[in-house]
Amino acid sequence: MIIARSPLRISLGGGGTDLPSYYERFGGFLITAAIDKYVYITLHEIFVPEFIIKYSKLERVPRADQIEHPIIREALKLMEIDGGYLELTSMADIPAGTGLGSSGSFTTALLKALHAHKKNNRAEHRTCRAGLRYRAQPASRTHRQAGPVQSPRSGASPVSTSTRMAASRRGPQRSPRRRGIISRTTC
């Protein structure tokens, strides 16, 4: 059994400036902090040729492209997993929809678990980047900043970062003036 977790986060500043509709035109700024509440993903190999997916719903399907949950379906496609024989469960310390970045944390933990399942343990940084790039629904930049961040010591203490986003033809760019602590990602 594989268990992966990713911290939720709170936004301390930035308002709506982390939404693409705003920062692509005007730039933006956000301050966010990871907290000691998590999204957990468990992954377990089973003996039947299907996917059993448990979140707020229960899905049992033979192929990944039949999964209704868009993030799970796209993550399995990204990882080239389609044969079934997997049970995947999602749990969280706080319910979805609270504004604490649960979808970004969910995606990061999911990809971390899938990488571990494929024995791809050197993929931490790619996991966190891909977890935000390959999401099946639009999101703010805040997900990209705090979802995959944890404390250097216990993994539970809040870690903060402040990021300035600039508008450009190539999309948002991080300002070279970055403050805060970003530690090795352990998702």
pLDDT at 183: 39
pLDDT at residue number 124: 54
Q: Please name the residue that has the structure tokens 């997993």.
A: 81
Extents of the domains making up the chain: 2-164
Per-residue model confidence (pLDDT) at position 75: 94
For 2-164, which CATH class? Answer: alpha beta
Q: What is the pLDDT of residues 133-162, one digit of tens each?
A: 544 554 555 444 444 443 333 343 344 444
What is this structure's pTM?
0.68
Confirm if 19 and 140 have CB atoms less than 8 A apart.
Answer: yes
What's the rounded Cα separation, in Å, for the pair 29 and 13? 8
Mean pLDDT computed over every residue of the chain: 74
CA angle 150, 151, 155 (to 5 degrees): 75
Asked if pLDDT for residue 30 goes beyond 90, the answer is no
